């Protein structure tokens, strides 16, 4: 039996239909910030409270550069950065939520 309705080919759900480049899923490459200071930074998955207010609270992916007395933080997907004391950093790592996730990825 012939189809009564002529369905345009663009409306037929076909897996072989090409996806426009603007809609194709692109993987974001996680790279540290571009300055020389961040070349040996580590990526951490952490939960923050109000310790690093420009980065925000909750679970975040951050680049971490640990120094002698300061720790520099940079959010992975946003341009926010923060400098905190090393004692505060140690308290963040000791927090209950970060015991399992507070290791470098």
Beta carbons within 8 Å of 74's beta carbon, 6+ residues apart: 32, 33, 38, 41, 62, 63, 65, 80, 81
pLDDT of res. 99: 61
The string of pLDDT tens digits covering residues 30-80 is: 888 899 999 999 998 888 888 888 888 888 899 999 999 999 999 998 899
Strands (E), the chain: 42-48, 58-66, 70-75, 81-85
Is the pLDDT reported for residue 28 higher than 80?
Answer: no
* Strands of the sheet with 70-75, listed across from one edge: 42-48, 58-66, 70-75, 81-85
Taking the complete model, does pTM exceed 0.75, yes or no?
no
How large is the greatest C-alpha to C-alpha distance in the chain, in angstroms?
Answer: 80
What does the pLDDT average to over 5-24?
A: 67
pLDDT of res. 69: 96
């Amino acid at each position: 039996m012939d189809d009564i309705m002529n369905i345009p080919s663009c409306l037929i759900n076909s897996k072989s239909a090409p996806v426009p480049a603007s809609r194709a899923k692109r993987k974001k490459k996680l790279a540290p910030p571009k300055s020389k200071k961040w070349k040996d930074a580590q990526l951490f998955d952490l939960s923050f409270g109000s310790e690093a207010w420009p980065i925000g609270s909750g679970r975040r992916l951050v680049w971490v550069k640990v120094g002698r007395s300061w720790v520099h933080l940079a959010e992975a997907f946003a341009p926010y950065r923060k400098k905190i004391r090393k004692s505060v950093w140690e308290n963040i790592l000791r927090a209950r939520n970060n015991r399992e996730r507070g290791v470098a990825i």
